[in-house]
Amino acid sequence: MENKLKIKDLISIGIFTAVYLVIFIIVIMGTGFAAVVYFFSPAINALLLAPIFMLFIARTPKRYAIVIMGFIVAAVIAVMMPAF
Residue range of the domain that includes 72:
7-80
Residue-wise pLDDT for 14-40, tens only, equals 999 999 999 999 998 888 888 888 889
| 2 falls within a domain | no
3-state SS, residue 52: helix
Residue closest to 71 by CA, chosen among 6, 26, 10, 4: 10
Q: What's residue 33's pLDDT?
A: 85
Number of domains in the chain: 1
pLDDT at residue 7 is higher than 90: yes
| 30 falls within a domain | yes
Q: What's residue 11's pLDDT?
A: 95
CA dist., res. 20 & res. 28, Å (int)? 12
Alpha-carbon torsion angle 58, 49, 51, 74, nearest 10: 10
